Structure formats: C-alpha cells, structure tokens
Amino acid sequence: MTKVIVLSLAILIIFIQITANSAFTAVYSIHIINALSNNDVPLTVQCESKKADFEKRNIKVGDDFYFEFSGNVLDSTRFYCHYWWGSKNQFFDVFNKDISPDCGKISENNYECFWKVLGDGFYFGGHNFPGSYSKRFAWNNV
C-alpha cells in the first residue's frame, strides 16, 4: 500500500513539472503601441509582475514595446503597467485571468494581446487589426 502511495505521488510530481514547463502552458505576447499624435510629450511606461520588473521606458509614436511570458498552471499570472504622458497617468492590469480569454490566438499555445495608447485612453485588441480594438480605460489627470 505504501509503495502505491509513493508511486502515485511521484507520478503527480512528474506531471506537475511537465505541465509547468511544456506545451500545456500557453505563451503570451503583450504589445503596448504608442498611437499618440506626436512625440512632443513622451509616453513613459513601466510594467511588472510578481516575478518581473521592466524598467521605465519611453515609447516613441508608432513604436511597439512588447514582452513574452509563459502563463502558469494555476492561471494566476498578472502583469500591470503604469503609464505617464504629460500631466496624465494611468495604472492597470495589461494581463490577468480575466483578460487572457480576449487575447488572440496566433498558433497552438501562443497568444497575443495588444494595448494601443491614444490621446483619449487605452484600447485593447486580441489582434492588431483595424477595428479590432475597444476602449478599456481613460487617462487620469495628475
């Protein structure tokens, strides 16, 4: 009986290791696109999660800052970003378990999520197609 329990636990541990580091775990690409009208006032962005912290960066008009990661088995991956543009700022999740179903599938276990930054706010799209974006957030004034 003890051998059966030990064997079952060993199989469970192996399964967890495989699923945490394999094709069972989806890979996501998060894109932040500066679609503002000009570069007179820089768009500054800083994104982070529990495990990653990207330094503050200025994104020029038309540029795309992106990062990739593997989601976890527990579906608890969360990335959030803080944005600054002149006297305006905003802070929100760019990826979490509620956003992930809206990301676009590009191949088996590979997804992409697009955030387009405009003068009136932040638009989300599962793909980078015209007309595929919907407004999710407005800017806050400092």
Domain annotation for the chain: domains and CATH numbers: 26-141 (2.60.40.10)
Looking at every residue in the chain, the average pLDDT score rounds to: 86
In the predicted model, what is the mean pLDDT of residues 87-96? 96
pLDDT at 64: 95
| Distance of alpha carbon 33 from alpha carbon 119, whole angstroms | 12
> In terms of pTM, does the model score above 0.85?
no
Of 137, 36, 35, 31, the C-alpha closest to 86 is: 36
| Distance of alpha carbon 127 from alpha carbon 55, whole angstroms | 26
* Helix, strand, or coil (residue 134): strand
Model confidence pLDDT, tens digit, residues 10-49: 666 655 554 444 456 899 999 999 999 988 899 999 999 8
